[in-house]
């Protein structure tokens, strides 16, 4: 019965295809931007015209307005079908499967045409004699080359939602690292490249970076797929000419085989040494790529996701935040990936410090989107101790780690932190970084191995949030091995709630062992816009992953999530004997939340496809809402006078083996938040 109703609707909707108005205006290209309305000018990225003034023309990413195209394609009568019971029934069966269309709209679109939503914009762009270089169907975008008059013509089209330059993306510039986050408690080496415990076995991890040194023995037999989007070499040329991607991948997935075979007194395996590796090369041998290459990489990963069981992607690169995450094309690609059940971990960036001054507001894109798990960097101070070492020092925020709030949207970022100081991982010999920083190569003899010398090195030391993000990525792979049913939102909640809050140095040492530290006025936690909820706790996160429902992806808000009636929110670290107290909280736009129901009760934020935003509702009696983590008076006083303009973050600011801060002039600070948050 229902099937016959659907067939009738299909025939009816096909009859409507020609009823629309064609979509958009018939744009005679304006001679200048002066002819555009305020609404049309708002479609242009703030830095676009400066680039065109300087270069004359540029590659741009044009994002379509899917609602305008939908309305023009299906017509008025087609839109009326959104309330038809048969359409609603079919929509419930398949869910929302077209980006930014409702499930009902997706059903009607598919009954109307087999074309992608971007097709109408492609037609309009072609009518303006512009060549479409690439389309990004998943986010309804395309890449083309324009001058100023072309931009004016595009902005006049109703089908166009936003236009931004195809910006360059760059890197945000171990044993001790593993011990600090506690991976030694969940994974045990039993041979040169064999392990027991949680290892990430069967989980696919995609690394969007500069490629991989494929011959490194630490990755042998686990490279599942490769693709090159850098424009340097063929599509299967994953060679890491820069050296960054190999180091990042080793922190996630290295087996440590080289260090084991060569007799090191410690081994340098990654957090998840048995995951399958998917290599998406987007950076060339100089460490530079483009926004469009990252978007293409994410689309490819989603296309092969099921084949390789890819559950998480790592992006340790970025650009300054030139627009809101809601229009930033790279952020939109990340949001689309998360909506399609791919967890995306990003580096916060290395823009946290300049000439002795802390900088705020410099979280890099795509880490500014709430869809991503954004990771800042901590400094382990050379010890396994997380709390107070012999000099009464705690692990601290690395001075270079980018701080929130995010430009344009004022969101809390990072989400958490992980060690990013002097991390030892796999080396890509003869790469740009290996040759530029020979002193960062790890001499085997320093760790009791052989042969000695930098020329025989298999590992290298680097620092930065680029090194912090892969530690979280690896931890997530272990969590997914423990509980494959976890959704992106559930994973984000568990890594945040199990993280250890770091306190200022003048706080009492008892704060680190007090489960109720929130109620102790002597416990001054570092601000959320600096550390998120705190320092990555791998054994705590994997423990929680195993305690919550093994059918998490099937639950509804309000359902019981925790299998055990009660658990203690602490982790005992075997290597140091420390008791690590969890943060027990989450932090996002406008408020923070603390309480047992974060992990005991399934929440709206954990549903498949859910992106954390201001409209989230929370269920449970055991919850406490905290002060605004960005705009409460105390926090605002900390960052408002050193909030940096994104436009001054275009210089080379890399943290690679050493520290070089080569800004293009001085950062431009704003003394008032009104410059970036006019709505607040």
Which residue(s) pair with 660 in the sheet?
none
Element (H, E) at 374: strand 373-379
Return the number of other C-beta atoms located less than 10 Å from residue 450's C-beta.
11
Pairwise CA distance, residues 132 & 309, whole Å: 32
- How many angstroms separate the Cα of 643 from the Cα of each of 320, 353, 365, 465? 13, 11, 16, 20
Pairwise CA distance, residues 318 & 321, whole Å: 9
CB under 8 Å to 679, separation ≥6 — which residues? none
Pairwise CA distance, residues 216 & 460, whole Å: 13
Q: Are 597 and 590 in contact (CB under 8 A)?
A: no
Annotated catalytic residue, options 244, 316, 409, 468: 244
Is 209 an annotated catalytic residue?
Answer: yes
For residue 349, with 0-12 CB atoms within 10 Å meaning exposed, 13-18 middle and 19 or more buried, which class applies?
A: buried
Pairwise CA distance, residues 324 & 407, whole Å: 7
Pairwise CA distance, residues 100 & 298, whole Å: 17
CA-only gyration radius of the chain, Å: 25
CA angle 148, 153, 158 (to 5 degrees): 135
Q: Are 313 and 301 in contact (CB under 8 A)?
A: yes
Annotated catalytic residue, options 184, 193, 209, 218: 209
Is 463 an annotated catalytic residue?
Answer: no
Annotated catalytic residue, options 164, 260, 285, 466: 466
In 3D space, the residue among 399, 337, 401, 322 whose CA is nearest the CA of residue 368 turns out to be 322
Return the number of other C-beta atoms located less than 10 Å from residue 14's C-beta.
13
* Token couple for 469: 């993000």
For residue 422, with 0-12 CB atoms within 10 Å meaning exposed, 13-18 middle and 19 or more buried, which class applies?
A: middle
Is 466 an annotated catalytic residue?
Answer: yes
DSSP label of 230: S
Pairwise CA distance, residues 508 & 601, whole Å: 32
Instruction: Give the total residue count for the chain.
Output: 680
Q: Are 172 and 349 in contact (CB under 8 A)?
A: yes
Q: Are 158 and 63 in contact (CB under 8 A)?
A: no
Q: Are 623 and 598 in contact (CB under 8 A)?
A: yes
Pairwise CA distance, residues 198 & 272, whole Å: 8
Catalytic residues: 209, 244, 466
């Amino acid at each position: 019965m229902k099937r016959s109703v659907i067939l009738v609707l299909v025939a009816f909707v096909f009859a409507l295809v020609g009823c629309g108005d064609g979509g958009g205006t018939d744009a005679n290209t304006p001679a200048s931007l002066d002819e555009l309305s305020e609404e049309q000018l708002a479609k242009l990225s703030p830095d676009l015209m400066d680039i065109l003034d300087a270069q004359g023309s540029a590659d741009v990413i044009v994002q379509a307005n899917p609602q305008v195209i939908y309305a023009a394609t299906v017509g008025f009568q087609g839109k009326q079908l959104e309330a038809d019971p048969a359409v609603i029934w079919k929509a419930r069966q398949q869910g929302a499967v077209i980006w930014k269309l409702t499930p009902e709209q997706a059903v009607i679109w598919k009954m109307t045409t087999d074309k992608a939503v971007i097709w109408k914009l492609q037609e309009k762009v072609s009518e303006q004699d512009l060549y479409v270089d690439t389309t990004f169907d998943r986010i309804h975008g395309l890449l083309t080359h324009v001058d100023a008059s072309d931009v004016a013509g595009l902005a006049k089209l109703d089908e166009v939602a936003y236009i931004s330059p195809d910006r360059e993306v760059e890197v945000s510039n171990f044993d001790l690292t593993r011990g600090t986050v506690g991976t030694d408690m969940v994974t045990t080496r039993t041979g040169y490249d064999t392990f027991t415990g949680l290892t990430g076995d069967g989980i696919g991890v995609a690394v969007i970076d500069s490629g991989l040194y494929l011959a490194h023995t630490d990755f042998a037999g686990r490279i599942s797929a490769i693709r090159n989007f850098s424009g340097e070499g063929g599509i299967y040329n994953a060679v890491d000419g820069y050296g960054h991607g190999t180091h990042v991948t080793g922190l996630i997935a290295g087996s440590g085989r080289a260090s084991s075979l060569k007799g090191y007194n410690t081994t340098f395996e990654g957090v998840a040494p048995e995951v399958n590796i998917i290599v998406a090369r987007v950076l060339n041998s100089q460490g530079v790529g483009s926004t469009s290459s990252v978007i293409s990489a994410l689309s490819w990963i989603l296309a092969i996701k099921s084949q390789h069981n890819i559950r998480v992607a790592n992006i340790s690169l970025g650009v300054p935040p030139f627009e809101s995450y809601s229009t930033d094309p790279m952020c939109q690609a990340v949001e689309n990936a998360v909506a399609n059940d791919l967890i995306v971990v990003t580096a916060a960036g290395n823009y946290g410090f300049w000439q002795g001054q802390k900088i705020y507001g410099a979280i890099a894109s795509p880490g500014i989107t709430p869809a991503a798990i954004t990771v800042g960097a901590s400094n382990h101070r050379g010890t396994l101790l997380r709390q107070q070492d012999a000099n009464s020092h705690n692990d601290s925020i690395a001075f270079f780690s980018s701080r929130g709030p995010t430009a344009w949207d004022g969101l809390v970022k990072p989400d958490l932190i992980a060690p990013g100081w002097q991390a030892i991982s796999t080396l890509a010999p003869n790469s740009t970084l290996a040759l530029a920083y020979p002193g960062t190569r790890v001499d085997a003899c320093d760790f009791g191995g052989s042969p000695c010398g930098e020329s025989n090195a298999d590992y290298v030391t680097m620092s930065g949030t680029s090194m912090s993000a892969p530690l979280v990525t690896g931890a997530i792979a272990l969590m997914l091995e423990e509980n494959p049913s976890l959704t992106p939102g559930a994973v984000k909640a568990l890594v945040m709630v199990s993280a250890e809050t770091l306190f200022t140095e003048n706080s009492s040492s008892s704060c680190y062992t007090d489960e109720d530290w929130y109620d102790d006025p002597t416990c001054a936690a570092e601000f959320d816009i600096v550390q998120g909820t705190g320092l990555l706790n791998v054994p705590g996160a994997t423990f929680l992953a195993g305690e919550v429902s093994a059918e998490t992806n099937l639950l509804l808000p309000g359902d019981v999530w925790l299998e055990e009636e009660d658990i203690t929110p602490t982790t005992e670290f075997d290597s140091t004997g420390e008791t690590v107290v969890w943060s027990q909280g989450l932090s996002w736009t406008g408020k923070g939340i603390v309480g047992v129901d974060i992990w005991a009760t399934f929440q709206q934020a954990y549903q498949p496809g859910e992106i954390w935003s201001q409209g989230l509702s929370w269920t449970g009696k055991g919850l406490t809402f905290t002060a605004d983590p960005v705009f409460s008076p105390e926090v605002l006083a900390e960052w408002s006078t050193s909030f940096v303009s994104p436009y001054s973050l275009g210089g080379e600011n890399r943290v690679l083996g050493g520290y070089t801060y080569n800004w293009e002039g001085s950062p431009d600070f704003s003394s008032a938040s009104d410059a970036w948050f006019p709505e607040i």
